[in-house]
């Protein structure tokens, strides 16, 4: 993919990454380019035929599918809102994504859209399919639900993310009104915001939910310099938790990967021994050191 977005989306699977990548590019084939699946990285063991990550493209959005094992499970705390310019597209996508999946909100007419449905597909990824007449700035928008102990934190979180990222701005915001219990009047019913020229959405939900943010969906921040890595690492981990291999959880529990933009190229070097050394160096790091990776 040319001109990789600043922020891309990572989906954690047990061992279904390649199957999922093929499925999603097939489902969204109307928006997919000919080279939608690329940048495959082998597992650290180097066993032939085993894949650690595979990138794929849907429209202008880049995803990475990761075979990480059974440790984390996908859940609806982060879903993907799909803006469809025609109601027929909603129906087609619904039919494809609902096969073997679970309905969270039936495909129907709602006050906010003539045709909308929320489906959890067979892999556990959640999609909100919505008819939006006219042009939309972004086809697929990751949407965060601030629930349980985080309910009421949406607006605070948006301002926090706007302070961390450049080329950021607020969009629309709709609030719960009186009588919409259990949600509190004034909390965020829906809001969208832009980070690095990419749209995100978020909402509060006071209804009881059995899910929360986890590592199963993370956001990858691609950095050009070590200074940029240091800056994002410091700001996103403040009040949160640092993990391994460039992963961290922010103060709200959302997971980010802060990585040098050159990393995919290093991991896919024609020199297989070079790729192995890079992976070995990566596995020993918490915050990533760009120079060490390049020299590995």
Q: pLDDT tens for residues 8-21?
A: 999 999 999 999 99
Report how far apart, in Å, the C-alpha atoms of 60 and of each of 84, 141, 221 are.
Answer: 14, 11, 16
Among 180, 168, 284, which Cα is nearest to 221's? 168
Q: Which of 286, 275, 289, 281 is nearest to 42 (CA)?
A: 275
Helices and strands of the chain, counted as H and E runs: 7, 16
| Weakly modelled stretches of the chain, pLDDT under 50 | 1, 30-35, 45-49
pLDDT (0 to 100) of residue 156: 98
34: burial class by Cβ within 10 Å (0-12, 13-18, 19+)?
exposed
H-type helices in 103-172, by residue range? 154-164
**pTM of the entire structure?**
0.92
pLDDT at 34: 42
pLDDT attached to residue 275: 86
DSSP state at residue 253: S
Mind listing the domains of the chain with CATH numbers? 7-72+214-295 (3.10.180.10), 78-205 (3.30.720.110)
The predicted-structure confidence for 128-146, as pLDDT tens digits, reads as follows: 999 999 888 899 999 999 9
Kindly list the distances between the CA atom of residue 117 and the CA atoms of 31, 90, 93, 101, 120, in Å, as whole numbers in the listed order. Answer: 20, 8, 10, 13, 10
**How deeply is 209 buried, as exposed, middle or buried, from its count of CB atoms within 10 A (0-12, 13-18, 19+)?**
middle
Q: What are all long-range contacts of 275-284, with beta carbons under 8 Å and residues at least 24 apart?
A: 275/42, 276/46, 279/44, 280/44, 282/245, 282/246, 283/44, 283/244, 283/245
How many Å apart are CA 171 and CA 201, to the nearest integer?
9
User: What pLDDT shows up at residue 33?
Assistant: 45
Task: Compute the radius of gyration of the chain from its Cα atoms.
Answer: 19
**CA dist., res. 247 & res. 229, Å (int):** 12
* Structure confidence at residue 195 (pLDDT): 97
Q: What is the DSSP letter of 235?
A: H
Half-sphere exposure of 226 (CA within 13 A, CB side): 8
Torsions phi, psi for 156 (to 5 deg): -60, -45
Residue 245 φ/ψ region, left for φ over 0, alpha for ψ in the -120 to 50 degree band, beta for the rest: left
């Amino acid at each position: 993919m040319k001109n990789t977005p600043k922020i891309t989306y990572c989906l954690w699977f047990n061992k279904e990454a390649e199957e999922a990548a093929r499925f999603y590019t097939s489902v969204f084939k109307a928006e997919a380019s000919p080279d939608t699946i690329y940048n495959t990285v082998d597992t650290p063991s180097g066993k032939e035929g085993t894949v650690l990550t595979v990138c794929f493209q849907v429209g202008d959005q880049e995803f990475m599918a990761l075979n990480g094992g059974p440790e984390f499970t996908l859940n609806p705390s982060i879903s993907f809102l799909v803006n469809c310019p025609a109601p027929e597209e909603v129906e087609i996508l619904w039919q494809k994504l609902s096969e073997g999946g679970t309905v969270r909100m039936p495909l129907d007419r709602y006050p906010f859209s003539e045709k909308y449905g929320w489906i959890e597909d067979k892999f556990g990824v959640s999609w909100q399919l919505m008819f939006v007449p006219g042009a939309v700035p972004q086809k697929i928008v990751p949407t965060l639900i601030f629930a349980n102990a985080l309910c009421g934190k949406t607006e605070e979180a948006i301002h926090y993310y706007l302070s961390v990222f450049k080329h950021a701005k607020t969009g629309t915001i709709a609030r719960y009104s009186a009588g919409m219990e259990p949600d509190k009047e004034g909390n965020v019913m829906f809001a969208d915001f832009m980070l690095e020229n990419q749209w995100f959405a978020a909402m509060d939900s006071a209804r009881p939910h059995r899910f929360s943010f986890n590592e199963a969906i993370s956001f990858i921040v691609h950095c050009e310099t070590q200074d940029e890595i240091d800056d994002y690492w410091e700001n996103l981990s403040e009040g949160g938790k640092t993990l391994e291999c460039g992963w961290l959880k922010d103060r709200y529990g959302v997971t980010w990967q802060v990585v040098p933009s050159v990393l995919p190229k290093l991991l896919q070097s024609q020199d297989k021994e070079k790729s192995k050394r890079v992976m070995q160096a990566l596995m020993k790091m918490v915050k990533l050191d760009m120079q060490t990776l390049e020299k590995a």
